[in-house]
Amino acid sequence: MSDKSTSGPRYRQHLWLVAQRRVALVDHTQRRVALVDHIQRRVALVGHIQRRVALVDHIQRRVALTGRMQRRVALVGHIQRRVALVGHMQRRVALVDHIQRRVALVDHIQRRVALVDHIQRRVALVDHIQRRVALMTTQNVIDGPLCVIDGHTLETPRGNPGDSTFTLLRRVNWAQSPPVGWEAHAQTNGLSPVSVSVSDIAVH
């Protein structure tokens, strides 16, 4: 019975079915393994995609940082231009101050020149008065002894005028240099003391 059971057609059919089921199981296992490989590849792909996304985020952050740095650089350039403008304005103000000091110096020089002109006119007036006094004394216009020194007068004493020294623009000693004009007239006539100031002489 046992030999029949192990060698008969039913047994061979049974073995064939078992073999087919084993082959089917191997196929199923292989498909499962292939599925696992596929899932692993998908997981690896997801990881790769995630890394790519992280790289894109990193690049975007770098781009944002670059833009911020560019704005910072532009701000620094703007500040530098403002500082240069302030320096330029300070130099302009210093130039204006320098010009004002030069103008003040010119005004001071002009006032000094005007003062010199005034002094020169005064000196010319004094020279003119001295010339007129000398002319009037030499022409015997003033009747009487006259001595003018810086607006002050010396007087002729009665009696002996030759003992005194008289000054008219310069000192003259009657004993050494005999007078002429009104001085001689005063000497011969022995006139009383006479005082005449420069303001009493008309200047034409």
pLDDT higher than 50, residue 150: no
Is the pLDDT at 174 greater than 70? The verdict is no
Q: Tell me how far apart the alpha carbons of residues 161 and 168 are, in angstroms, rounded to a whole number.
A: 15
Whole-number pLDDT of residue 133: 86
Does the pLDDT at position 98 exceed 90?
yes
Per-residue confidence band for 10, with pLDDT thresholds at 50, 70 and 90: confident
Q: Is the pLDDT of residue 93 over 80?
A: yes
- pLDDT at position 53 is 96
Report which of residues 76 and 178 the model is more confident about: 76
Average pLDDT over residues 83-102: 96
Instruction: Using the structure block, give the residue that is written with the tokens 């064939």.
Output: 16
Q: Is the dihedral of CA 32, 37, 41, 43 positive or negative?
A: positive
Tell me the one-letter amino acid at 135.
L
Give yes or no for a contact between 145 and 183, defined as CB atoms under 8 angstroms apart. Answer: yes
